[in-house]
Each structure stands twice: as structure tokens, then as C-alpha cells.
Amino acid sequence: MTASRHFDFIIAGAGAAGLSLVWNFLQREELRDRRILLADRSLQPLRDKTWCFWDDRHVPFDDLIHHTWDKLEVRVRNTFFSETLEKYRYHCVKSDDYAGKILELARQSPNVTLLEADIDGFAFESGSAVMRTAEGPFTAGHIFQSALRPPGFNRLKLDLSLLQHFAGWHIRTTEPVFDPESATFMDFDVPQKNGITFAYVLPFSSRDALVEYTLFSPEVITDEAYRQGLETYIEERLGQPPGSYEIEYTEKGVIPMEDRRYPARYCRNVWNVGTMGGLTKPSTGYTFTRIQKHSAAIADALARGKNPPSDIMSPYRFRVYDMLLLFNLHRDPEASLTIFYELFRKNRFDSILQFLEEQTRFDQDLRIMASVPWGPFFRAIYHMKHRILTGA
Ligand SMILES: Cc1cc2nc3c(=O)[nH]c(=O)nc-3n(C[C@H](O)[C@H](O)[C@H](O)COP(=O)(O)OP(=O)(O)OC[C@H]3O[C@@H](n4cnc5c(N)ncnc54)[C@H](O)[C@@H]3O)c2cc1C
């Protein structure tokens, strides 16, 4: 392998995870002279995702935040909950801003090489990690990959598998309609025809907002069904009939919500990151913050001359909670709505976000669990005991 095809690190996949790694590597003084190859089939920044997350600290990509909300709203069982956050703030980042900024930084860094190519596979050969691409093989000390499913993926233990699928419209209304300080986190007061269904609304100004129509169900629905869901919600909840707004941008997505435990490595010295690293939280689909934390942990370890961390992101007790909630989302949508209702009725939004962020102590977990109906959770424990007793 010639020097120009060998690197210290290869980052295979330049989405949320790959770009977060590049950014983190470039922040560490100790890694500044490491030769990095960043590969993806396309390195053109794309507006195809709007990532939302909450944070109680200074966020890593401060200047990439498109909008921040201090207030969140939830509707469930015909009840409206609204709260100003104290501990957290709710942010969103647009994928084209994120990719544009980090790719620009990468292009200006003499130690980073960019490669546009289809990635075919990975291996460990002759002491190096190998990435096979349409442009031939490249080698490195470590490869971080978010492009391919790990080998044996379909054989990993799996009891619960749901999809979080959604379509969103960024609309601009003729009249002022929205409060840009307040985001609708979840509105379950919509017809529940095809599985657990909710809408969320991210207002960027009084006249424009991203409205998403989301379902938790085993199958995706047709484009026509998403369109109808969005149009009805915008008309009935926001009072905006067709013709009173323009659609500026659309997005669509599917996020797996599963109890599958992804392996840390694809093969020796090839590390799975992002969705392929199992970083999606099974009960919520939130992944973005976990990606940022994972990337920072990898960069810290490498800067200290250590191997990347291979432990599972969530502690055991949170994996069990995820499994129990996912069981109910999967098997009992009605009970799940009651769980959400009691959760938001009896807890502060900050406490719920802290729990979902896995930042609560055990006594705080118990308080949250005591606030929701126990029956569905006992049933879930009974059905999932084989997983709970074997490490979740
Ligand atoms: C529309 C959408 C909205 C989301 N919103 C949120 C949110 O609000 N909050 C949240 O926490 N999570 C959200 N998620 C979940 C998660 O954060 C995203 O899916 C996130 O992009 C995952 O990052 P990733 O790097 O693992 O994958 P990706 O961002 O998908 O990156 C993978 C990269 O690998 C490249 N690639 C794949 N295969 C190959 C190949 N064979 N050869 C070369 N390149 C390849 C792709 O081109 C891509 O650039 C959302 C997901 C979607 C789909």
C-alpha cells in the first residue's frame, strides 16, 4: 500500500457521525498531525435532515444552531401541557449547515483528505484496517464507519422492532401563526389510525415552521397518507387551509427503534459509529446528542494514545427502561398514550428530558416510573424477562 493510500484514521461515511468525528479530531491538539481520510459517496452538503436535541451545557457546534426554543408544548388525551424549560434548551441544526461548515473546515485542514467513492466493505489485513471502495482499497490504523451494517446484523438478537417514520413540511404562512419561542414537542391528539401517531411543530418565526407528521409502527405508510396527515394537521390544529401557506422544503425519514445490540466493531480496528454503532435510543429515536458524546469520547481516547471506547452507550438500567417502553409502544399503543399522558401530567419537562438523556440518578428514575401506570410495565417485564436477565 503506497503512503498516499495509508492513513492514521479513515472516517467512512460523512453524515452526522462521520462529520462529528472529523470536527472532534480537528479540535484535539494531540491529533492535529494525524492523517485522516474522510470518505462518502457524496460530499455535497444536503438539506435532508433537521436534527433536534436538548442540552444543558454549551453545545459543541454553537454557531451551527439554526434555532433554539425555551418553551415546549405537548398535547395528549385532549390535554395541553406547556412549560418553559429551566435546565435545558431545545435546539435544531440543519444538515446542510452542519455538513457545509465541517466539510469546509476539513478542506482547509492539510491533514484531511476527502474522497468521494462508494464504500464496499471493510477488513483487517496485514496489521491494518482496510476500506474497500470503488476507487480501490485504503488502509488505516483505525477506521470509523457509519456507512455499512455490521456483519451478522440480521442474526443479532431482536425481540422488538418498530420504525419511527415521518414526513415534514417547512411551511411559510401568509399570516403570522406561530410563536417562535415555543416548539410543539409531541401532539398526540391526532387520529391514531396506523400506529402511535403524533405531530411536532418547530416554528422559526411567526410565519414559518417545520411541521412533522410522525408514526411509531412496524411499517411505513404511503406518501399520500403522510400528505393527508400533514395537510389535515395544518388545517385543523394550525388553522391554515391549503392555499394559505407555501411549502418551502420537505423531508422524510425512517429511524429504527429496536432492542438489537449493535457490536462496537465491524471487524478488528474498524469501529461502528452513528446509527450503525447502535447509537439510536430505542424508545425515542434520538441519536444526535449520543453521536456527539460518542465522537468526543473517541477523540479523547485517541488523544490519550488509547483505543476507542468499546462499551455500550447506555447503562444497563436505561437499556431495560428502553426495552419496557418499546415493548408498550410496540404491543399496546393505547396504554402508551396513557403512559405519555401521566408522564407529562406529573413531571416537569426538564425531568423528563433529563431521564431521556440518561442523566438521572436511580431515585429520580423511580420517581418518574412511579408517576406512570405500572400494569403495562409489569406485563413488559414478564414478556421481556429473558432479555432483562441476560444483560438487556
Ligand atoms: C430525516 C431524519 C431526521 C432525523 N432527526 C433527528 C433528530 O431530530 N434528532 C435526533 O437525535 N436524531 C434524528 N435522526 C436520527 C439520526 O440522528 C440521523 O439518522 C443521523 O443522521 C445518523 O447519523 P449517521 O452518521 O449514523 O448516519 P447518516 O447521517 O445517514 O450518515 C451516513 C453517511 O454514510 C454514507 N454512506 C452510506 N452508505 C455508503 C456507501 N456504501 N458508500 C459511501 N458512503 C455511504 C451516506 O452518504 C451518509 O452520508 C433523524 C434521522 C432522519 C433520517
Residue 3 confidence (pLDDT): 58
Sequence ranges of the domains in the chain: 3-47+95-155+259-303, 161-258, 316-388
Residue 356 confidence (pLDDT): 96
Q: What are the DSSP calls for 213-255, one per residue?
A: EEEEESS---HHHHHHHHHHHHHHTT---TTSEEEEEEEEEEE
Residue 58 confidence (pLDDT): 66
Alpha-carbon gap, residue 215 to 294, rounded angstroms:
27
Ligand 1 atom closest to residue 20's alpha carbon, by position in its atom list: 25
The 3-state DSSP class for residue 151 equals coil
Closest residue to atom 3 of ligand 1, CA basis:
49
> Which of 83, 16, 86, 20 is closest to 56 using CA atoms?
86
Residue 317 confidence (pLDDT): 95
Parts of the chain with a pLDDT under 70: 1-3, 58-60
Ligand 1 atom closest to residue 51's alpha carbon, by position in its atom list: 8
Burial label, 266 (beta-carbon count in 10 A; 0-12, 13-18, 19+): buried
How crowded is the C-beta side of 364, counted as CA atoms within 13 Å? 15
Alpha carbon 341 to its chain's center: 23
Residue 342 confidence (pLDDT): 97
CB distance 24 to ligand 1 below 6 Å:
no
CB distance 147 to ligand 1 below 6 Å:
yes
**Contact yes or no for 11/129 (Cβ under 8 A):** no
- Crossing angle of helices 316-331 and 333-346, rounded to 10°: 130
Q: Write down the residue that cell numbers 414478564 correspond to.
A: 382
Task: Quick: pLDDT tens for 321-342.
Answer: 999 999 999 999 999 999 999 9
Other C-beta atoms closer than 10 Å to the C-beta of 4 total 10
CATH of 161-258, one of 3.30.420, 2.40.128, 3.30.70, 2.50.20: 3.30.70
CB distance 14 to ligand 1 below 6 Å:
yes
Residue 139, all three cell numbers: 488502509
Q: Does domain 3-47+95-155+259-303 have CATH number 3.50.50.60?
A: yes
Alpha-carbon gap, residue 35 to 3, rounded angstroms:
10
pTM metric for this prediction: 0.95
Residue 234 confidence (pLDDT): 98
**Contact yes or no for 12/147 (Cβ under 8 A):** yes
